[in-house]
Structure 1
Amino acid sequence: MLASRRAAHRGATPALVAGLRAAVVTLSTALAGVAAVLAFISVRMARRVVTPAARVADTRILGLDTGAQTITLSRTPDTQLPGRYGLFTKGTAPYVKVGSVLSADETTVKRKLLTHIGPTARLAPDAAFSGWYYDRPEQLQLPFSPELIGSAVGPCPAWLFPAGEGDVWVIQVHGRGTTRAECLRAVPVFHALGITSLLVSYRNDGEAPRSRAGTYTLGATEWRDVDAAVGFARRRGAKRVIVMGWSMGGAIALQLSLNSAHRGVIAGLILESPVIDWRLVLSYQARLMHLPSPVTGLAIEALKSDWAAPVTRAGASIPFDRLDVVARAAELRHPILILHSDDDGFVPSDASHDLVVARPDLVEMQVFEVARHTKLWNYDQERWSSSIRSWLERQGLSREGETAQA
């Protein structure tokens, strides 16, 4: 009986080994498949980060009452916000302004139209909700001139709004996937304080020339175009320059502050919903898209690597360490005002809070709630404007501040 058991055991061994080999092959194939999927998703994420974005519809027009001048939109975290906003549409009116929320339920929001829509108007259902409000400089009813800023990539269009004696300027830097029109709503605040506004474009934003790769570097090279604008301002009589950056424009403004040859003329930064640490932002957005946690790390590593540039289409490696201004906080030299909402929903405010902790001697932060990404002016215009005015006065950068110091 013992001999028969040994024989049975010897007979089972090859079958067992074959089964184990098959299991290992199957597991290896599955792991390779998972790795391939993660790599594919990571490459797609990396490309999305650096590719200039087109405006995407994020709400739908469900009703239009031209008699009452109201519009009904599908409800989203943005369309339900109080305040004044814009709506990019397709049809007879490509852009309309909307006002207060008149009524809402679980799926819809009815708002007041601030742009008159006639009875023959036709609007496509898909629309994009915007914090711009103003979309053309003429709407401010302030004197302005179109300008061209010479940069390494070519002439970059800008709008110049002269004010005061012309010795204090603010250079406005828009965010990712937008244009300089995003900054128009800030011009009246500075104009009233005698500060000249220059609203600039930069490489690959759809208005300025393309770089060779045609992709964003998340602030690592775009700051050079804004630096050219600082030189332009100096040649036009600016003695002190404030740089205001919106979202990715905040990352550009910070790189300018750290690297510019014109650092001596920069008097301060104002950052609206800024990107201060890209790794934190990309991790946050990956979670919003329910992507596996390794995807962000793989995407960042790919973007950091020169060898992966042909795959990510980034053109060159992205220096995430240089773009992490919390880590570089000791290098900062200019006073900074941050305006950020803890309910931003796109760029988390964590790094903004961290920068205040790292440099309380230079960085002041006004924390908003409810308002979402770059929509602080829209949600609470008075608080937003007064925060900027009072900061400028404390820095001696407005007529009121200069009078108080005298």
Structure 2
Amino acid sequence: MKKLIYILLSFVFIVLGAGGWYFSGLIYEGGLNPEFPDTDEIGTAEDRILVSSIDENTITLNVEEELWGVLLEKGIYGVRGQNGDAVVGEIISSQNNIVKRELIKLTGTLVPGDKVNGTNLVTIDEAGSYRILGTSSWSGQASEGVYTPESVSNLDYEIISYTSNLGEFPSYLTTEGDKGIVIFVHGFRGDYSREVFALMRSGDLNDLGYRSMIISYRNDRGVPKDPSGIYQYGTTEWNDIDGAINEALKYTDKVILFGTSGGGGPISSWLENVGDKNKVSGIIYEAPVISFWESVEVNGGARFPWLPTQLFSYFKLVTEIRYGVDFSAMDFREAVIESDIPVLLFHGDDDEWVPVEMSDYIASMRSTNLTYVRYENVGHVTSWNADPARYVKELSTFLDSLD
């Protein structure tokens, strides 16, 4: 009997050890490893969606192969196929795997049976027409794999550099606008020359009188790496943010930070370590990672719903030991709550990457100088798509309040 117990215990320890090793590796590759595959195009996805039917006003899609995605969410999105693409709007009906949406614009040909993919990389050109980045009619690229303010938003720009304690970092700086500079801080595995979200929003900000500074920082391609060898979600990156702020202050006395997804951590860590309201007038967050481990748990729960939630604490411990990570040091919620620098916070409640509950908590705990725009049936960093006019109005109102 004792022998059987020993065998069972040994088996349990082996399974736990193997599971801890496997899932800690997933956490590292999916959220901590700064190295990423080099591709020429942004926003590409597998063609896993089928066109069921299409007419002049509607398109019906079979989304059975999509676990989640923009075509299941409220807003204006792109559908890209081999022979054509479409801009779609309102969800007319949704039953089981079949989604019927308003057809706003069709370029080329889409027919029943075509395999397509969905994208949130939609913008509005100067003529008021929708365009989808990454299509045959508009790649958005200035050269192979490179996107610029001019190629995406038709804005003049220069390439400047700022310095931090780790070295020198290149950035785009648009040239028009006299109200101030908005510094965009991208998320995990970003690259300033491929940050199409920031490049698209720079057009909106230009219309509001602001220049955009789209920065690189440690662990980006071609710039100094963090000595730890991992993405730190703010614990060290705040030094780079401070360097970028100091550079922007050479051009203006009004600086606003704009953090998307994993870019929320470096900005929030800057609040914790510097937080000088004489240097920064306001902060804009879009689906921000302000506590990295919270995002790990949400991602893990969505991808492995059969896993007992209690195991995540074990995976956390194994990851910390294996990779030398301190997840508690990546939690900046209190810094955001305690700061009095004005904040505009966008988040959708259908975000499968960053938990909206994190933003809910901050909004509930911070009583002043915070505007929270929470969307229903909207996913990760797609607030503009949900309602472009409202999004720009919220930006305008917030920026005007900083005068």
TM-score normalised by length of structure 2: 0.75
* Residue in structure 1 matched with residue 21 of structure 2 by the alignment: 40
| Higher deviation after alignment, 74-83 or 137-146 | 74-83
* Residue in structure 2 matched with residue 225 of structure 1 by the alignment: 240
CA distance in 1, matches of 2:16, 2:185: 39
1:71–1:110 Cα contact (<8 Å) kept = yes
CA distance in 2, matches of 1:186, 1:201: 17
* Residue in structure 1 matched with residue 9 of structure 2 by the alignment: 28
One-letter identity of the residue aligned with 1:271 = Y
- Tell me, yes or no, if structure 1 residue 168 matches structure 2 residue 195: no
Relative to 1, partners in 2 of residues 1:128 and 1:330: Cα closer, same or farther, differing over 3 Å?
closer
* Residue in structure 2 matched with residue 143 of structure 1 by the alignment: 156
- Tell me, yes or no, if structure 1 residue 300 matches structure 2 residue 316: yes
1:83–1:378 Cα contact (<8 Å) kept = yes
CA distance in 2, matches of 1:226, 1:118: 45
* Deviation sequence 1:365-384 (CA, Å, 0-9, x none): 11111111100101111111
1:85–1:98 Cα contact (<8 Å) kept = yes
- Tell me, yes or no, if structure 1 residue 388 matches structure 2 residue 395: yes
Relative to 1, partners in 2 of residues 1:382 and 1:101: Cα closer, same or farther, differing over 3 Å?
closer
Secondary structure of 2:373's aligned partner: strand
CA distance in 1, matches of 2:241, 2:343: 17
* Residue in structure 2 matched with residue 129 of structure 1 by the alignment: 119
Bigger Rg, which one: 1
* Residue in structure 2 matched with residue 100 of structure 1 by the alignment: 89
The gaps in structure 1 that reach 5 residues or longer are: 1-19, 310-316, 397-406
- Tell me, yes or no, if structure 1 residue 264 matches structure 2 residue 252: no
* Deviation sequence 1:66-97 (CA, Å, 0-9, x none): 998998765244223343335688x799xx67
* Residue in structure 2 matched with residue 79 of structure 1 by the alignment: 71
One-letter identity of the residue aligned with 2:22 = I
Secondary structure of 2:283's aligned partner: strand
Q: Identical aligned pairs, as a percentage?
A: 24
TM-score normalised by length of structure 1: 0.75
CA distance in 2, matches of 1:212, 1:87: 41
- Tell me, yes or no, if structure 1 residue 367 matches structure 2 residue 374: yes
CA distance in 2, matches of 1:388, 1:330: 21
**Alignment: residue pair count:** 361
CA distance in 1, matches of 2:176, 2:284: 19
CA distance in 2, matches of 1:206, 1:87: 29
CA distance in 2, matches of 1:240, 1:342: 32
2:80–2:118 Cα contact (<8 Å) kept = yes
1:42–1:295 Cα contact (<8 Å) kept = no
The gaps in structure 2 that reach 5 residues or longer are: 38-42, 124-131, 134-139, 141-148
Over aligned residues, Cα RMSD in angstroms?
A: 3.6
Deviation of residue 174 (structure 1)?
Answer: 1.7
- Tell me, yes or no, if structure 1 residue 57 matches structure 2 residue 71: no
* Deviation sequence 1:277-324 (CA, Å, 0-9, x none): 22222111111122332442233324444xx22xxxxxxx43433322
Deviation of residue 358 (structure 1)?
Answer: 2.3
CA distance in 1, matches of 2:272, 2:106: 42
Secondary structure of 1:293's aligned partner: coil
